[in-house]
Structure 1
Amino acid sequence: MNSKIHVWHTGQVYIDQAMAFQEKTLHPMPYTGWLRSSAKQRWVPVSAYLIEHPKGLVLVDTGWHEDIRTNQRKHLGWLTSTMFKGTLPKGQSIAERLQAKGIDHKDIDYVLLTHLHSDHVSGVKHVADAKHILTSKLEWDAAQKGVGYIRPMWEGVNINTFELQRIPHGPYQLGYDLFQDGSLYMVHTPGHSKGLFSVLVQTNRGWVLLASDVGYSNRSWEQNILPGVTVDKVAAQKSLDWVGEFRKRDDCVQVMANHDPAIGEQIIE
């Protein structure tokens, strides 16, 4: 399957290290960064991926919206802006990335939102006219009433949902076969959020797993460290275990966490 994957950094996010790697501490919410030393804060990339698939253009996540450059407090909301902040250098927004490649967002066949946390969905209005914008129904339902979501970020955008189906991969063997040919799966990997999915892409060399926020770097599955924020620790552990096992497969080319500073921009062919 001759798919090409463009790995882009669509800005950075400044977080407490406990957001990325769960800590044992007396602090009740260390991931917020509140009353924590600046030595514990880290800049990490906010990644998005453009997949040139034989059956269409697929964008995975949307990074920061350009509004992050001008009014972060309004874009993130006051409370969220006290926990983390973003930066978006010129040329790195999804709109600018696509324009540089000569791609009109109306020509994108699918935008896949792995989950609806702000650093993954912030830029969705830049691609609001894509042919299909998808997230899981579990995630959509959770985001309508749950905490940790900034609903104005996708207000007015036509986001469709998919129901989980049986697939041959994942901790629960649930997800969605996007093209119905076994070449690109949205794999149900919950725990960090209720409906989080990873994206599994078949290339000529083997599988590439875009693991979203199942973990924050290779360290997560190598050292078995959950993200600092989970809605279901049992499910988060099961998802992390599956990623750790999948990366050992002979036909697995690469596994990438969305916020891994060690993953540079690249093209996987």
Structure 2
Amino acid sequence: MMDKIKIHVMHTGYVCVSPDLPFGGENCSAIKASGIFGRKENRLWLPVSVYLIEHPQGKILVDCGWHRNMSPNGTLDKAAQIKSLGSLFLYLVNQGKIEKGAAIDEQLKRLGLKTSDLDYVLLTHLDCDHANGVGLVKDAKKILVALDEVECAKRHSAVRYKKKWWKDVSLTEFDWNDTEGPVRKSYDLFGDGSIELINIPGHADGLFAVKVKNVDGKFVLLFSDGGYAEKSWKQMITSGISLDRDKQKKSLQWIREQSMDANCLESLANHDPSVIPHVILL
């Protein structure tokens, strides 16, 4: 077993959203969060993060970011993005771009890895900026998504989710097998507590954080869209997109407690503009 777990924090492009989407708070309506009627000049460009975990038991990718086909030339491309997402509405809510070389398969190649080298891909939830790029890594050995999230995507397929993003991709649905987290639902990936997928519902039903822990009990928390930045848990600011406000607040409170734990080395949101790509040794 190697001495250290290595976590590569990478950005796979950017997403442009209304400021109310990430930081709208509990009284924000879904329409306001969408930004469709808001001022374009007030929009925020936020990074779209993914994480490669080099673990003694395999190589694990957390989320996939955007697909290259939605930004073929590395710039914002309205027509390409609408075609890739299959939705004009989703383009209006969140425009995206991926610089050349920043798509997940391109970044893995730069690290000397093939997508088939991935033992696991963990989809924290199925929103477009997390799952649209899954086709780029479809030959990974196993691609996991929570059963709760698959059911959530079925219920909200008319607007929020599009099955075409994972068409021809073999997804493995999992149910919770452990009891860590705000709603006592989690999945112990290796059965040793080193990689725990922890349900943090609210933003999406099957959303999970990934807690990566070493033998000394030190850990890194990758909390996806449980909050959109460090200030989310520090100031308890929920996002404007929520399926259940009470669960969202409960999840964010849990993220806050975990982030303030003395054993927490880093606590990272998926779209925090203050986070720059780096490597964590755990």
TM-score, shorter chain, exceeding 0.5: yes
Q: TM-score, normalised by structure 1?
A: 0.96
Question: Within 1, Cα distance between the matches of 2:98 and 2:5?
Answer: 28
- Note if 1:177 corresponds to 2:188: yes
RMSD: 1.6
8 Å CA contact 2:123–2:144 kept in 1: the answer is yes
Match of 1:264 in 2: 276
Q: For residues 19-48 of structure 1, what are the alpha-carbon distances to aligned partners after superposition, in whole Å with 9 as ceiling and x for unaligned?
A: 001257797611111221234200000000
Question: For residues 267 and 160 of structure 1, do their structure 2 counterparts lie closer, same or farther at Cα, with a shift above 3 Å needed?
Answer: same
Q: TM-score, normalised by structure 2?
A: 0.91
Aligned pair count reads: 268
SS in 2 for 1:29: helix
Which structure 1 residue ranges, 4+ long, deviate > 2 Å from structure 2? Answer: 23-28
8 Å CA contact 1:12–1:43 kept in 2: the answer is yes
Question: Which is worse superposed, 88-97 or 146-155?
Answer: 146-155
Question: For residues 123 and 39 of structure 1, do their structure 2 counterparts lie closer, same or farther at Cα, with a shift above 3 Å needed?
Answer: same
SS in 2 for 1:165: coil
Q: How far apart are residue 174 of structure 1 and its match? A: 1.4
Question: For residues 139 and 33 of structure 1, do their structure 2 counterparts lie closer, same or farther at Cα, with a shift above 3 Å needed?
Answer: same
Match of 1:128 in 2: 138
Question: Within 1, Cα distance between the matches of 2:209 and 2:235?
Answer: 20
Question: Within 2, Cα distance between the matches of 1:24 and 1:239?
Answer: 13
> Which residue, out of 107, 110, 123, partners 2:117?
107
SS in 1 for 2:241: coil
Correspondence list, 1:135-154, <5 A: 135-146=145-156, 147-154=159-166
Q: Where does structure 2 lack aligned partners over 5 or more consecutive residues?
A: 73-79
Question: Within 1, Cα distance between the matches of 2:81 and 2:109?
Answer: 24
State the identity as a percent.
39
Question: For residues 231 and 262 of structure 1, do their structure 2 counterparts lie closer, same or farther at Cα, with a shift above 3 Å needed?
Answer: same
8 Å CA contact 2:26–2:240 kept in 1: the answer is no
Question: For residues 51 and 24 of structure 1, do their structure 2 counterparts lie closer, same or farther at Cα, with a shift above 3 Å needed?
Answer: closer
SS in 2 for 1:9: strand
Question: For residues 197 and 28 of structure 1, do their structure 2 counterparts lie closer, same or farther at Cα, with a shift above 3 Å needed?
Answer: closer
Question: For residues 26 and 159 of structure 1, do their structure 2 counterparts lie closer, same or farther at Cα, with a shift above 3 Å needed?
Answer: closer
